Chain A
Amino acid sequence: MFDRSLLVVSGKGGVGKSAITAALCILAARRGLSVLAIAMTDDLGLGSHLGVDRLGYRPQEIRPGVNALTIDRSQALDEYIRLQLHAPRIAPLGPVARGLNALADAVPGIRDIITIGKVLFEAGKPQWDIVIADAPPLGQITSYLRAPVTIAGLVPVGRVRDQALRYEEELGNPDHTGLVLVVTPEELPVVETNEARGEIASLVDIAAILTNRVLDPLGVSEETLTGMPAGPHRDAGLLHRGLYDAQRRWSAEIPDGPDIPFLFGVHTPGEVAVLIADSIGGTR
């Protein structure tokens, strides 16, 4: 998984995407890679799982081998115009950037291409062995992945179009980019992941589907439990069995991939990421 230049991590909201992004970064750094973690839209989750309050727009080393940044759209836009499109410095960028910022609300794909463009721009830098991006949730991810195609379709000629075609190629190249889908074995995450998989796979290679918060079997039969006197042992056993059975039903609907165990009683986001890294690292 870590031999690609870019891993994009997505999944339905609430399944633990940011924790797993942070864990993958920690794991890659443990293997000696120089890692850049990117929060594509919201830095709170990724930042706290990496043990810092906020992330900045400039890469910042937050643990050995792991740098991190968050994408600030107006700065990314500025950088996109100047560095990627080599815009002439004819006028202060202020009004242009403000205008394009407003345009991003109305023209499909502009906001998205600036964000995904920044991610691909960083992935192309020799200083990073791998870039791992905490991407928007399932409902929005295809819009980002599709942005280069959308823009190339809207803009007939020019630098924006050329750049968009290059992005499209890099996203579609499985040696360059992989998408990691995170799912929990519950109804909505599984159903929505399966609905989105086909469209996602047409845009980017799905490197792995990770199942998060997986429970172990209890090892005690339902008959034994229901025959016991009432009390916390019985109730906790019945809840565990019930949850485990429901998880089994839903995980049967998704392809096999690494399972990440349910973490009992873990308090801080930082601990979660390290424990997940240990768990994935140990199984591979």
Chain B
Amino acid sequence: MTRAVLITGGGGVGKTTIAAALGVAAAEAGHRTLVLTVDPARRLATALGLEKLGNHPEPNPGLHGLFAAMLDSAASWDAIAYRHAPEEVADRLVTNPLFEAVANRFPSGQAYAAAEEMAVHLESGQWDVVVVDTPPASGGIDFFEAPSRMRDLVGGRLLRWLTGARLPGRRGLFNLAGRPALRLGDALLGGPLLEQVAEFLFDLRTTYDGITAKAGVIERHFAAAATVVVSTADPGPLREALRFHEVGIEPALVVFNRALPDEWAEPAEPLDDGRAAAALNENLARWALEVRRQEDARADFSGRVGTAMVTIPWLADAPTDLEGLRAVFAGAPELTLEGVGI
């Protein structure tokens, strides 16, 4: 049985680093591990053995049993079309400019594409552990809501509006005269555009059964996975982290990244010799303020959410190689594989 670990949270909190560090730790514990990531920092990608974008897992040259793939959402959308629509319809879809626009801009699209890709790997039977670095869209919540949004998109709500209550055949898709709402739409946007959209949606509609079934499977994968919410002690990321709780997603673990040592806030004997003493006393005093702010933010958070929490120390330099990723894991003794169900 493949274990899925979903790493999620707001932008810029270090999700990818933590996904990679967990991946390295899992592989070193002997699990055949895949890290699925979206657009990592270049040097981190190199550390994972990733030179180019691609959905195909690449083995890590430095660590046996560790693989990584970088999700290419445009390629994933094409794959979705061919997976769920008859080939001739899929051919028409992937060359339709509206399809490309939806692929690029439908906010849940990239997230859904990533979720389908995740499902492919979870069901392949090739992996003991799949660690997913979720796409950064609105705080990672999008990833969890993507299946239902996608179902709505292809579910024909708009198509029904454009065509009336019953789904027509391909011909006579669109009946302007009978629909006052459409007459206004036509005055505003022009008939050819609406007709083009209706044709596109008609094709997209053929994916409905497939996507509905798949979305259900993906939601079951989500429910079975261990979710790790990453945050810093800053207000924006904390708000994103709280949103998971608000929508009823219970994480296995909340990770506070960029944590400072608590002892910096304890009263310290001031340095009194040497030129540097005054500067260092002042420096410790201002970082102590930051330590207290972090402590308060974490206490406030744990007061609202009962989830297990771990802290990861703030590193001046983000890890760029396997050694650095091992150090992230080793530097956070509370972060364990057992804690995320591996």
Contacts and interface: CB of A to CB of B under 8 A. Distances in A.
Contacts of A241: 316
B7 interface: no
Interface stretch (B61-69, B98-106, B301-309): B98-106
Interface string A97-118: 0111011011111001000000
Interface in B276-302: 276, 279-281, 283-284, 286-290, 292-293, 296
A95 B316 CA distance: 55
A252 B99 CA distance: 40
B147 to A, nearest CB: 15
B264 interface: yes
B13 interface: yes
Contacts, number: 171
B11 interface: yes
Contacts of A108: 98, 101-102, 104-105
Given A232-B268, A240-B283, A12 B11 contact: yes
B104 to A, nearest CB: 8
B314 A239 contact: yes
Interface string B134-159: 00101000000000000001000110
Contact of A103 (B136, B197, B280, B315): B197
Interface in A169-228: 184, 186-189, 191, 218-220, 224-225
A188 B182 CA distance: 45
Interface string B202-227: 00000000000000000000000000
Contacts of B293: 264-267
B333 interface: no
Given A14-B11, A107-B101, A267-B296, A154 B185 contact: no
B235 A233 contact: no
A105 B109 CA distance: 10
B35 interface: no
B132 to A, nearest CB: 19
Assign chain B's interface to a size class. 35 or more
A45 interface: yes
A235 B98 CA distance: 55
A160 B260 CA distance: 54
B4 to A, nearest CB: 25
A243 B237 CA distance: 20
A191 B46 CA distance: 16
Contact of B316 (A154, A155, A245): A245
Nearest to A99: B161
A136 to B, nearest CB: 10
B236 interface: yes
A269 interface: yes
A233 B268 contact: yes
B208 to A, nearest CB: 14
B41 interface: yes
Q: Is the interface of B mostly helix, strand, loop or mixed?
A: helix
Given A160-B189, A242-B317, A264-B289, A220 B280 contact: yes
Contact of B136 (A13, A156, A158, A159): A13
A81 B188 contact: yes
A100 B234 CA distance: 38
A251 to B, nearest CB: 15
A83 interface: no
A191 B42 contact: yes
B200 interface: yes
Interface in A69-107: 81, 85, 87-88, 90-91, 95-96, 98-100, 102-103, 105-107
A186 B41 CA distance: 11
A237 B234 CA distance: 22
B264 A91 contact: no
Contacts of B261: 232, 235
A32 interface: no
Contacts of B317: 242, 246
A78 B96 CA distance: 29
A102 B194 CA distance: 12
Given A13-B12, A191-B41, A265-B292, A99 B188 contact: no
Contacts of B197: 103, 106-107
Interface in A1-19: 12-16, 18
A118 B282 CA distance: 48
Contact of B12 (A96, A188, A218, A233): A188
A143 interface: yes
A13 to B, nearest CB: 3
A157 B190 contact: yes
A115 B235 CA distance: 26
Nearest to A265: B289
B136 A237 contact: no
A44 interface: yes
A65 interface: no
Given A45-B236, A106-B197, A99 B158 contact: yes
Query: Closest 7 A-B residue pairs measured CB to CB?
Result: A242-B316, A265-B289, A13-B11, A14-B12, A108-B101, A102-B158, A99-B161
5 contacts: A95-B181, A137-B11, A220-B283, A236-B284, A240-B287
